[in-house]
A and B are shown apart, each in its own frame.
Chain A
Amino acid sequence: MSIMKHWIVVGTMVGAVTLGTQANKFASIVNPPTRIVGLQAQDTHAAASLLGQFRTSFSALLYLRADLYVHGGVEMRPLTHNEELHGRTGASEAKDEAEKLDGDAAIVTVIPSEKEDFRGIFGDVERRVASYKDMAEHHHQSPTQTLPLFRLMTWVDPQFIEAWTSAGQIILWENKKESSALAVDFLKRGLDQNPESIDILEEIAYCWMKDNSNQIQPAHKFESALPYLLRAKEIGLNNLKTLSDREANSLKDNYRKLCICYRELRQYDELRKVAEEGLNLFGEDASLKMALAEATQKR
């Protein structure tokens, strides 16, 4: 009886270890890939703004932390409804992108400026001990430092598409000879987790298009990008009715990139077809129109 008990214990432990090592195979059933709607971190409600970091998931919290890295530790926040009602304006009130870029002074920091702070010397001291500065004409740090955060995000939440694509962009941003290969390698890991992601497929294609490692055959990069763009297009067309705004934008970009590839590969028939298809889907798009005009002219 005692020996049997031992065998039951050993058997259970072996079973648990075996199940643990095989657990990943059930991931697609237990946690199937889902389309991420987007990060809702910049809520303007006061409580949401204050408690936002608790409300969002851990990976979203890391995403916000990445923003902190880029801004040298200066923490910013959106205006609350109450502040807007009292006539306060921030950078988000800008009419257009140009005004937003010039409107650094309107950026609201979590630690208030001297004139907005009721705390007196406590406020003065906090501005000197914390990473606080006036955001007028502020500069950004190299985003490379945020890479470990993105790796952590994708590790914690493999379905966080924006983390995969942002990290891919940052690796590419380093502009080294091996950057494209590294970014593609990283994004392919994301694609394994999210095989139906238009964004990741499009990003891989973009990384190939920016690849400068093969100077002898420059067309090689467009040939390498093409299968990913075609796959993204296929997924987009199959799910046209359920695409989120971000995915629809990615699909539009995907058509533009397809046009670039076909143009560089001098496949003008394909270029015309793709440009027409894109225009049918997205209406007036200057890039696609130009591609169609070029294809018609070159035929």
Chain B
Amino acid sequence: MKFTAYKPLARSVLLESLRRKDLWVVAILGFLIILCAGTLGFFGFDGLEIFAKDLAVTVLGLFSTIIAVLTSCRLIPDEIKNRTLYPLLARPITRFDLLIGKLMGAVVVTWISFLILCGLTAIALTVFHVQFNVIMLQYVFAKMIGLVVICALSMTLSIYLTPNASATLAFILAFGTPMMTRGLTMSATSVGPFGKFVYATINGALPQVQLFDIGGRAVYPNWAPVPMWVIGFLVAYGMIYSFAMLGAGWLKFRKQAV
């Protein structure tokens, strides 16, 4: 592992993103956030705190996931398609280093976009006199860790599948896992010990993205902040799952003919 190689690799992803004007997309999404906030005024009711926060959390969750998936899914296929992978692999780095560097770049781009969206959302919320609290900071932090998981998952899928197929599957997993988990917990009450073991295995394999969403506590009043051990667990789980995904991607990528 060559830590010195990660920074330029990540930087190249960021520059490529700027060159492709991806941040314009973020600006347009941000404009939509402001527009949504404007509709609150249109409805003309006082005491909109929950609604405003609910809308903000929904929009942030949706847009940041879209950015994470679309940024990560195209990185490796684009390098292969544009034949820019050859000069990269000619350097004294392994393919695993390349994957880590690219993932770091994708994470940086996604985090910057997410933080821009957070800033615009914060402005919109301030207009509606919404008070900020610790849980909102925890929400932002946990979401950032969750975005690392989504980036790692999307990038790994793009190594096994075409960019379009990987993006589709990544969206299904990112948005569908909470529902799949609900389905498992609902039906688990009526299965035996072996069934529960199978359910736990399936559940463990799925990316538990809903764990990184503290939006419910941030939106509704009278909820206590999340305990620090839970935040620690989320960081550990996020890192382990992301490295597992990266490892799975590397298994294919290390032997892939380019």
Contacts and interface: CB of A to CB of B under 8 A. Distances in A.
A147 B49 CA distance: 11
Interface in A77-91: 77, 80, 82-83, 85-86, 88
A131 B211 contact: no
B179 to A, nearest CB: 7
B221 A148 contact: no
B222 A72 contact: yes
Interface in A60-113: 65, 69, 72-73, 77, 80, 82-83, 85-86, 88, 110-112
Interface string B188-232: 111000001001100110001011111011011111001100100
A117 B184 CA distance: 10
Interface string A102-128: 000000001110001111111101101
Interface string B44-56: 0101111100100
A122 B208 contact: yes
Contacts of A149: 51
Contacts, number: 112
Contacts of B196: 118
Contacts of B169: none
A119 B233 contact: no
A125 B51 contact: no
A147 B47 CA distance: 9
B187 interface: yes
B192 to A, nearest CB: 11
B200 A120 contact: yes
B233 A118 contact: no
Nearest to A147: B45
Contact of B210 (A121, A130, A145, A147): A130
Contacts of B179: 50
Interface in B125-160: 142
A30 interface: no
Given A116-B189, A119-B203, A122-B208, A73 B220 contact: yes
B190 A83 contact: yes
A120 B233 CA distance: 13
Contact of B51 (A50, A117, A145): A145
A56 interface: no
B227 A128 contact: yes
A120 to B, nearest CB: 7
A29 interface: no
A148 B48 contact: yes
Contact of A118 (B40, B200, B216): B200
Interface residues of A, number: 40
A210 interface: no
A144 interface: yes
A230 interface: no
Contact of A129 (B54, B204, B213): B213
Given A69-B50, A72-B222, A129-B142, A151 B185 contact: no
B189 A86 contact: yes
B45 A151 contact: yes
A112 B187 CA distance: 11
A141 interface: yes
Nearest to B210: A126
A77 B189 CA distance: 14
Interface in A138-187: 141-142, 144-145, 147-149, 151-152
A82 B187 contact: yes
Given A80-B187, A116-B185, 18 more contacts: A72-B220, A73-B216, A86-B190, A116-B188, A118-B185, A119-B181, A125-B234, A129-B217, A129-B226, A129-B230, A130-B217, A131-B216, A131-B219, A131-B220, A141-B221, A145-B49, A147-B43, A149-B51
Interface of A: 46, 49-50, 65, 69, 72-73, 77, 80, 82-83, 85-86, 88, 110-112, 116-123, 125-126, 128-131, 141-142, 144-145, 147-149, 151-152
By Cβ-Cβ distance, the 4 closest A-B pairs, closest first, are A131-B216, A73-B220, A145-B50, A148-B51
Interface of B: 40, 43, 45, 47-51, 54, 142, 179, 181-190, 196, 199-200, 203-204, 208, 210-214, 216-217, 219-223, 226-227, 230, 233-234
16 contacts: A46-B186, A69-B220, A73-B216, A82-B187, A112-B185, A118-B188, A119-B181, A125-B234, A129-B226, A130-B210, A141-B220, A141-B221, A145-B49, A147-B43, A148-B45, A149-B51
